[in-house]
Homo-oligomer: A and B are copies of this chain.
């Protein structure tokens, strides 16, 4: 008998595996549908519904089906049991039920008023997966990819503006949304809604901070496809990438702001502690991310010892690259910092240094790997957002709050873009034109980050109402604004079909006669950036990559022994070449083309020699490598030459 029972229990366990398989299958099915739809859309050049919007739509339909087509199965689930012996919730609970011990794992704490929501449908419960999956698994690849594919050249040209929008703009947006929502909440309390709720100004600010994370994935994808003006693209891309990091740290800082006494009274000490937290976490995460990238760069740079180069084993190189980048995220999380911020700056630094040391094969492998992970993660998130509207069981729809939030989000975006653009235009030589400002205003979509921040805490009723509202704003902005991007571009007469390389080449050609100073003042007087650039070019690049002048020429003479030790031997020979490299717009491309022609009569028989364009997707990251913005600063030196084969 006992034997039989054992087998039954094995079968039960199998049942559990199979359920997990069913849920994953649902997601797979949604993703496959999304991919087929994208294919269809691309065929018809249909740009009113982007893949993210499509994924969300399919998720919505699937959520509807799961909600109303599956029945409640697990009757026990809704009941709360008493346990007098326990003092606190242990992480693992062993319970003796009818003489059989079961192991239960701690999942979360829930409020009394949420207990009813858990009654019934096991399928729904399984579908609403852990917010930690978002933060630990789905978001990191997206953010890393954003950092890794940052168009450095244009990014650094617009650094000042991007930082202003990202830091100042997000703060402005957060405060404006917070203030407007506080007004609405006060009004709601006045007319008798939200009875018995605790809803402080800090809660409104919390909502403000999470709604300040813009996510113009859809808009940027369309921009990219239409080759919209590169400066506009860079401004929006840079802003949204950094703004995510700022919003995440801001939300965390506000959530741990805990005034000693009355939460409605301003507590200066607690406020400054929050500001300190913000700065500390941001700086710490930045340092963590960058240092992991520097370690990767150093390891991949260790070419020149008696060791075989790591780049001769592209699999190991790619693996190491992937693991160290993920470790940046995990270490930051483990240290109580923000992993997302760490992984973003890790990506930026990897692209700046490590990428130059990678073998051509690894360059492609890492790019394709992260591109693929980004693609999958993005679509999973948008599918899940669609699902959440029907599978999340504690929605609180409050029309007034939702209306207030819509108003607040648009007013805040306007207060962010127009005044800051005005201020920036005072300093910029190349003004941000009026139609760019309108387009930036229009591109203030809310997406994955806002959703992830909102779903992270849905315990109290205010938080649930915020989550519902955030979800609706995401739906609205992705569908309406995302779909309206192409008409809007036409209406605002923003030029499309621009080749970013051509753009720069033309600029460079126009300015061949002008000198360095004249050149840099063209966009912004980024003196801080110039100092950093000099330091980076003279010291960091030579230490961490094969590019740049040898350290012996850049360091003072008394450092020569150290310099000789640290400099890559190839740097000496490359000294001339290095200056020339800056002229080559897209040195990667040249290298590859050259190699592909040089390859055919090559002696190595084990090189299969794949040659295939990576398709249109590649333009986007076509210039991760060397050069880029150097063009701006150094185009006076040397003659263009084919030298990237070193």
Contacts and interface: CB of A to CB of B under 8 A. Distances in A.
A92 B16 CA distance: 13
Nearest to A198: B3
Interface in A582-640: 588-589, 592-593, 595-597, 599-600, 604, 606-619, 622
A618 B611 contact: no
A90 B612 CA distance: 54
A570 interface: no
A320 B35 CA distance: 7
A310 interface: yes
B606 A372 contact: no
Given A256-B11, A308-B43, A375-B319, A610 B610 contact: yes
Interface in A14-60: 14, 16-18, 20-22, 24-25, 28-29, 31-32, 35-36, 38-39, 42-43
A118 to B, nearest CB: 7
Contacts of A2: 198
Interface residues of A, number: 140
A333 interface: yes
A189 interface: no
Nearest to A595: B611
Interface in A223-239: none
A109 B98 contact: no
A334 B18 contact: yes
Interface stretch (A76-84, A481-489, A539-547): A76-84
A549 interface: no
Interface in A95-136: 95-98, 100-112, 115, 118, 122, 125, 132, 135-136
Number of copies: 2
A292 to B, nearest CB: 11
Given A32-B323, A361-B614, A101 B111 contact: yes
A6 B109 CA distance: 10
A263 interface: yes
Interface stretch (A143-151, A241-249, A324-332, A506-514): A324-332
B94 A115 contact: yes
Nearest to A619: B606
A274 to B, nearest CB: 12
A457 B31 CA distance: 33
Contacts of A16: 106, 132
A614 B314 contact: yes
A110 B97 contact: no
Interface in A530-545: none
Contact of A74 (B39, B92, B109): B92
Given A96-B82, A107-B105, A118-B92, A592 B613 contact: no
16 contacts: A3-B263, A17-B135, A35-B316, A43-B308, A74-B91, A77-B90, A77-B92, A80-B101, A81-B86, A81-B96, A82-B95, A104-B107, A319-B372, A360-B611, A592-B611, A610-B614
